[in-house]
Amino acid sequence: MKSLLEQLRARIIQEIESAKTQDELKNIEIKYLGRNGELTIMLKGLKDLSAEEKPVIGKFANEVKIDIDKTFKGRAEVLEEENLAKACSNDDFDTTMPGTKFKMGHLHPLFQVQRDVERIFGQMGFAVIDGLEMDSEYYNFESLNIPETHPARDMQDTFFIKDKYHDFHKRMVMRTHTSPLQVRSMEKYGAPLRIIVPGRVFRYEATDASHDATFNQVEGMLIDKNISLAHLKGVMTEFLTRLFGKPVKVRFRPGYFPFVEPGIELDLSCLLCDAKGCRVCKHTGWMEFMGAGMTHPNVLRAGGIDPNIYQGWAFGFGLTRLTMMKYNIDDIRLLMSGNLKFLNQF
């Protein structure tokens, strides 16, 4: 049996080494090592050997198998390399042709704009702050100079969490704006302060093309000594000009928000008609952009900052609205629809 094995080994190895293609190699494997292959059958015969022969021949058979496996692997590698070399030198094979494209996702348009906002304010020295989407009535209203009985509470239809949470902080609410982060940040970091707070906010509202119950805002706040609205005008003009990549002007109009005094509304020159007047800006040359103002002394005090030493301003704009302006989107509901036909355009 040993000599039979030896002969077979020699034959198999010789055949493997003269195999010219991977297919030939595969056939040799089936012929000898397959379920009914010659070597397989011979190895099955080992069990009929006598007790003395079995360990000796068994060991030898094992060595034969290892030899053959090694030769197989070696030849397979050689053939593979030859194949590759052939393919590369073959005139029909264009190595410069682009390969299969991977499907790549991309950022949602809202977050593309959010990233730009964060980058530009970051360049101007503002820290980016993250906040809670559910906060207390105290931070969402009271600390911002909006007492319980104040009619300004009606300006923002609120989702309340049912159970009372705390004597002082009252109920929890889904924040109606990013403004709760004003007092929270003053408490945490003190003055001077320069922050922006991008985040989701919630209003109990019926949805239509320009309203959604969930949308995104960006709050901004700057507190330091000798601060005035002139700084706000400078910062916002620079921010919008960098964001849109062309000169943008801003103007102030009086506005009312309980947490600022004086309060203003900030408009920007119409992006579509360069302030000449068109349908989108209703022929005024201006587009409404955000609320802002000098931080009310009560709000500074709530944040533990002395209004006799520090002043500041704050603003809040809709990131959702900004995104719609930037990409000319006319229905807010598309943004959170998860509709890929819509999203893949950005």
Q: Provide, rounded to whole angstroms, the least separation between the CB of residue 345 and ligand DAH.
A: 29
Shorter beta-carbon distance to ligand DAH: residue 109 or 318: 318
Q: Of the candidates 32, 121, 139, 257, which one interacts with ligand DAH according to CB under 6 A? A: 257
Is 131 one of the binding residues for ligand DAH (CB under 6 A)?
no
Q: What amino acid occupies position 236? A: M
**CA–CA distance from 26 to each of 49, 83, 89 (Å)?**
31, 15, 25
Give strand pairing partners of 136: 172
**260 binding ligand DAH? (CB under 6 A):** yes
CB closer to ligand DAH out of 48 and 148: 148
The verdict on 250 binding ligand DAH (CB under 6 A) reads no
DSSP codes joined into one string, 2-48:
HHHHHHHHHHHHHHHHH--SHHHHHHHHHHHHSTT-HHHHHHHGGGG
Q: Is 292 in the site for ligand DAH (CB under 6 A)?
A: yes
Q: What is the dihedral of CA 186, 190, 194, 197, to 10 degrees?
A: -30
285: left (phi over 0), alpha (psi -120 to 50) or beta: left
Q: Measured from the CB atom, is 131 or 293 closer to ligand DAH? A: 293
Identify the bridge partners of residue 135 per DSSP, sorted by sequence position: 173
What 3-state DSSP class applies to 47? helix
Stretch that binds ligand DAH, among 29-37, 72-80, 267-275, 285-293 (CB under 6 A): 285-293
Binding to ligand DAH by residue 219, rule CB under 6 A?
A: yes
Provide Rg for the chain, Cα atoms: 37
Nearer Cβ to ligand DAH (82/208) = 208
Examine residue 291 and tell whether it contacts ligand DAH (CB under 6 A). yes
Residue with tokens 């819509």: 342
Q: Does the footprint of ligand DAH cover residue 315 (CB under 6 A)?
A: yes
Cβ neighbors of 196 (< 8 A, separation 6 or more) are 117, 118, 121, 126, 127, 128, 129, 218, 219, 220, 221
Q: Tell me the closest approach of the beta carbon of residue 294 to ligand DAH, in angstroms.
A: 9
Residue keyed to tokens 């496996």: 69
Q: Are 305 and 298 in contact (CB under 8 A)?
A: no
How near is the Cβ of 264 to ligand DAH at its closest, in Å?
A: 8
Please report, as residue ranges, which positions from 69 to 98 form the binding site for ligand DAH (by CB under 6 A): none
Answer yes or no whether residue 314 interacts with ligand DAH by CB under 6 A.
yes
Cβ closest to ligand DAH, residue 202 vs residue 315: 315
- Determine, following the binding rule CB under 6 A, whether residue 179 of this chain makes contact with ligand DAH: yes
Both tokens assigned to 152: 């300004």
Binding to ligand DAH by residue 267, rule CB under 6 A? no
Tell the smallest beta-carbon distance from residue 316 to ligand DAH (Å). 3
177 binding ligand DAH? (CB under 6 A): yes
> Is 287:315 a contact under the CB 8 Å cutoff?
no
Contact between 199 and ligand DAH by CB under 6 A: the answer reads: no
Q: What amino acid is encoded at 214 in this protein?
A: T
Can you give the binding site for ligand DAH, defined by CB under 6 A?
A: 177, 179, 219, 257, 260, 291-293, 314-316
